[in-house]
Amino acid sequence: MSTSFTPNPKYSNNAMMMDFYEMTMANAYFLTGQKDTRVLYDMFFRRVPDGGGYAIACGLESLVDYIRNFQFYPEDIEYFRSKGIFDEQFLQYLSTYRFKGDIYAIPEGTVVYPNEPLVRVEADAIGATLIETQLLTFMNHQSRIATKASRICRGGRVIMEFGSRRAMGNDAANLGARAAYIAGAVGTANCLADQKYGVPALGTMAHAFVEMFPTEYEAFAAYARIYPDSCTLLIDTYDVLHSGLPNAIRVQKEILEPMGKRMKGIRLDSGDLSYLSKKVRKILDAAGMEDCKICVSNGLDEFTMADLVLQGAAIDSFGIGERLITAASDPVFGGVYKLAAVEENGTMVPRIKVSENEVKTTNPGKKMVWRLYNKDTGFAICDVITMDDETIPEEVPYSCVDPRKPWKNIVIENFRAVRILKPVILKGELAQPLPSLEEIRSYTRHQLENEVWEEEQRLYNPHQHYVNMSHTAYALKMRLRDEHHT
Judge contact between 271 and 311, C-beta under 8 A.
no
Averaged pLDDT for residues 109-114 = 98
pLDDT of residue 3: 67
Distance CA 416, CA 371 (A): 8
In a domain, 323, yes or no: no
**What is the domain-level CATH number for residue 412?**
3.20.140.10
Identify residue 313 by its one-letter amino acid code.
A
pLDDT average, residue stretch 6-19:
93
Question: Is 176 a residue whose pLDDT tops 80?
Answer: yes
Asked if 185 and 211 count as a contact pair (C-beta separation under 8 A), the reply is: no
Q: What is the pLDDT of residue 25?
A: 98
Cβ 433 vs Cβ 449: under 8 Å: no
Distance CA 384, CA 33 (A): 37
Instruction: Tell me the C-alpha to C-alpha distance, in Å, between residue 407 and each of 202, 392, 401, 421.
Output: 53, 21, 8, 27
> Is pLDDT above 90 for 132?
yes
297 domain-assigned: no
* Percentage of the chain exceeding pLDDT 70: 99
Residue 215 DSSP class: S
Domain that holds residue 115: 16-145+331-485
Give the pLDDT band of residue 486 (cuts 50, 70, 90).
confident
Three-class SS state of 98: coil
The pLDDT, as a whole number, for residue 1 is: 55
How confident is the prediction for the chain on average, in pLDDT? 96
What residues are paired with 233 via a beta bridge?
266
401 part of a folded domain: yes
Residue 464 lies in a domain: yes
Q: What is the mean pLDDT of residues 67-81?
A: 97
Q: Which among 404, 412, 346, 387 is positioned nearest to 46, based on CA atoms?
A: 404
Residue 180 pLDDT greater than 90, yes or no: yes
Phi, psi of 58 (to 5 degrees): -150, 150
Closest CA to 238 of 262, 255, 213, 256: 213
pLDDT: which is higher, 433 or 409: 433
Sign of the CA dihedral with 163 first, then 168, 171, and 176 last:
negative
Q: Is residue 120 part of a domain?
A: yes
The stretch 280-299 carries a mean pLDDT of 97
Q: Has residue 357 got a pLDDT over 80?
A: no
- Kindly state whether residue 221 falls inside one of the protein's structural domains: no
Beta strands in 60-133 (DSSP E): 102-105, 111-112, 119-124
pLDDT at residue 6, rounded to an integer = 87
Is the pLDDT reported for residue 430 higher than 70?
A: yes
* Mean per-residue pLDDT, 322-341: 96
Query: What pTM did the predictor assign?
Result: 0.95
Q: Say what the pLDDT of residue 4 is.
A: 74
Q: Which of 417, 423, 430, 442 is nearest to 107 (CA)?
A: 423
Percent helix, percent strand, percent coil in the chain, to nearest 5:
40, 20, 40
Confidence of residue 330 (pLDDT cuts 50, 70, 90): very high
Q: What separation, in Å, do the N-terminal and C-terminal C-alpha atoms of the chain show?
A: 45
Residue 224 falls inside a structural domain = no
**Count of domains observed in the chain:** 1
Tell me the C-alpha distance between 86 and 439, whole Å.
Answer: 45
pLDDT score for 359: 80
* 159 DSSP β-pair partners: 318
Summarize pLDDT for 50-67 with one digit per residue, the tens. Answer: 999 999 999 999 999 999
Using DSSP's 3-state secondary structure scheme, residue 108 falls into: coil
In a domain, 350, yes or no: yes
- 188-216 pLDDT, tens per residue? 999 999 999 999 999 999 999 999 999 99
